Amino acid sequence: MTADIFARVQHILTIIKEEKIENAVELESFRIKYVGSKNEIKGLFGEIKHIENDRKKEFGQLLNDVKQAAEEKYEAFKSRLLELDEVQSGTFLDLTAPCAPIPAGSRHPVSIVLNRIIQIFERIGFVVAEEREIEDDWYNFTAMNTPEDHPARDMQDTFYLKGSTKELLRTHTSSVQARLMTTQKPPIRIIAPGRVYRNETISSRSHCQFHQVEGLYIDKNVSFADMKQTLLYFAREMYGAETEIRLRPSFFPFTEPSAEMDVYWGLKNEDDYRITKGTGWLEILGCGMVDPNVLINCGIDPEEYSGFAFGMGIERQAMLQFKITDIRQLFENDTRFLKQFVGIV
């Protein structure tokens, strides 16, 4: 009797070891038979009471071996089938496989142009200065020699903070000039890039927010010729080595004399006629010698120091370079638009 049951269990162990499992159906029937809650092996544990006392331990050991063999085989085949399934369905994760390329991001066209401008001026010793966008009207207007009754100060043109007649969103980066001249001693040689705000109706040509780069150079004996040479260098680095510039007399409250600088764009096709209004010239920036009143307002002696300043818009230059016809595209963050600039730095 005892020998019989030992032989039976031994036989089951052999069957378990040899059983072939090739698919999920076979795995499931194996599970029901040997691993599930009503499996065959469980019933055999009930036989222990019929075994002679001195072999009970041996029998128990054998049953445990069978149970363990069944469980191990089930687990091994389960994970093997899972793996096979993943490979077939494509969800298998092969950690050694070369990865799919990560899509490259792109720089915003305004950043591209801004970075180029910054690099050009950094090469000749200008240092980047960044300042606040919420300004005090003294720095934005008064220090910059803009009279109390100047139309730019009007609510129609400038965004004031709610309930304030003093705090505003800066209308130009020229406010950085006053910030720096009141806190630093000459020589000062900075460019100040940043966002500015004006109360304008939004259209394809103008926006209520845009970017400017301000330049300021204050030292002993700085002349108009220094300014002209600096700006010529900039234009040629930015628009090509042959680029011609012209300075037209203009007016800004904070510079005297003041000028606007054009670069020669050319008149090769219809677009050029439209963009340059038939003249071939494009206005790029405003500039001039810092007005002595501005120096005095900021605590710098105009008898000892002089300087030049310039300010330019970025959006227009970005639109020219990348042939963008609607300024609003620069602020909408439409990825179909932005994706076009992948790889441009």
* Residues lying near ligand DAH in the complex (CB under 6 A): 172, 174, 214, 252, 255, 286-288, 309-311
Which residue bears the tokens 């008064």? 142
Q: Are 291 and 258 in contact (CB under 8 A)?
A: no
Q: In what order do the strands lie in the sheet with 281-290?
A: 127-128, 188-197, 209-219, 306-313, 281-290, 255-264, 245-252
Residue 227 corresponds to which tokens in the numbers above?
């300014």
Residues 85 and 55: their CA atoms lie apart, in Å, by 45
For ligand DAH, the closer of residues 109 and 311 by Cβ is 311
- Give the nearer residue to ligand DAH in terms of CB position, either 59 or 310: 310
CB atoms within 10 A of CB 109: 23
Tokens of 233: 């260098």
By C-beta, is 194 or 288 nearer to ligand DAH?
288
Residues 157 and 218: beta-carbon distance below 8 Å: no
In the complex, minimum distance from the CB of residue 192 to ligand DAH, in angstroms, rounded to a whole number: 9
> How far is Cα 277 from Cα 274, in angstroms, rounded to an integer?
5
Cα–Cα distance, 91 to 192 (Å, whole number) = 52
Q: Are 146 and 253 in contact (CB under 8 A)?
A: yes
Nearest Cα neighbor of 292 from 253, 327, 322 is 253
CB of 223 to ligand DAH, least distance (A): 15
**Least distance in angstroms from the C-beta of 142 to ligand DAH:** 14
| Between 296 and 342, CB nearer to ligand DAH | 296
The widest CA-to-CA distance across the chain, in whole angstroms, is 123
Nearest residue (CB) to ligand DAH, 210 versus 281: 210
Q: Which residue blocks in 46-125 are alpha helix, DSSP H?
A: 56-89, 109-122
| Minimal distance, residue 132 CB to ligand DAH, in Å | 16
CB-nearer residue toward ligand DAH: 191 or 324: 191
Between 2 and 250, name the residue whose CB sits nearer to ligand DAH: 250
Query: Least separation, in Å, of the C-beta of 115 and ligand DAH?
Result: 20
Query: Measured from the CB atom, is 56 or 316 closer to ligand DAH?
Result: 316
CB of 181: closest distance to ligand DAH in angstroms?
12
DSSP 48: G
Nearest approach, Cβ of residue 248 and ligand DAH (Å): 12
Closest to ligand DAH by CB, 34 or 310: 310
Q: Which residue is nearest to ligand DAH (CB)?
A: 311
Q: Nearest approach, Cβ of 167 to ligand DAH (angstroms)?
A: 19
Residue among 89, 92, 72 at smallest CA distance from 19 = 72
Q: Contact 199/208 with Cβ under 8 angstroms?
A: yes
Min. distance of Cβ 214 from ligand DAH in angstroms? 5
Written as one string, the DSSP assignment of 232-256 is HHHHHHHH-TT--EEEEEEEETTEE
